[in-house]
């Protein structure tokens, strides 16, 4: 069921375990820490005859380098500034009324011209 750590296989030319010591100044009080390189987040530590294991991770085995998304394309250029697209200020109330009166006058002139044309056609 359990095998010695010396039989663990390397992955991506990385040793399966990394060993470190918590302190080199006072070795009698130092804690030995064994970190798994195959299962990130798995640790075993020992101090004297006391030892324990802990796992803090996502439950995913090491798969090599992390995912790097592809480089995004350059942003597109903005619309050209032409009158059809360019925003304009809204007209004031006076300008709207002036335009409305001008359009009404043009409509009245057209109606008069149509009426005179109809009268001329009736006379013929």
Q: Render pLDDT for 36-55 as a digit per residue (tens, 0 to 9).
A: 988 889 999 998 889 999 99
- How many separate domains does the chain show? 2
User: Is residue 23 in some structural domain?
Assistant: yes
Categorize the per-residue pLDDT at 15 as very low, low, confident or very high, splitting at 50, 70 and 90.
confident
Distance CA 124, CA 114 (A): 15
Range of the domain at 106: 89-124
Distances (CA, A) of 37 to 43, 48, 109, 120: 10, 24, 91, 102
Whether residue 2 is contained in a domain is answered as no
Q: What is the pTM of this model?
A: 0.47
Residue 79: inside a domain: no
């Amino acid at each position: 069921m359990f095998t010695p750590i010396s039989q663990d296989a390397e992955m991506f030319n990385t040793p399966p375990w990394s060993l470190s010591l918590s302190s080199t100044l006072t070795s009698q009080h130092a804690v030995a820490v064994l970190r798994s390189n195959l299962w990130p987040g798995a640790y075993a530590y020992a101090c004297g005859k006391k030892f324990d294991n802990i796992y803090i991770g996502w439950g995913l085995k090491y798969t090599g380098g992390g995912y790097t998304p592809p480089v995004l394309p350059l942003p597109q250029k903005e619309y050209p500034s032409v009158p059809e697209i360019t925003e304009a200020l809204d007209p004031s109330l006076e300008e709207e009324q002036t335009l409305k009166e001008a359009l009404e006058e043009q409509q009245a002139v057209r109606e008069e011209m149509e009426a005179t044309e109809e009268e001329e056609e009736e006379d013929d």
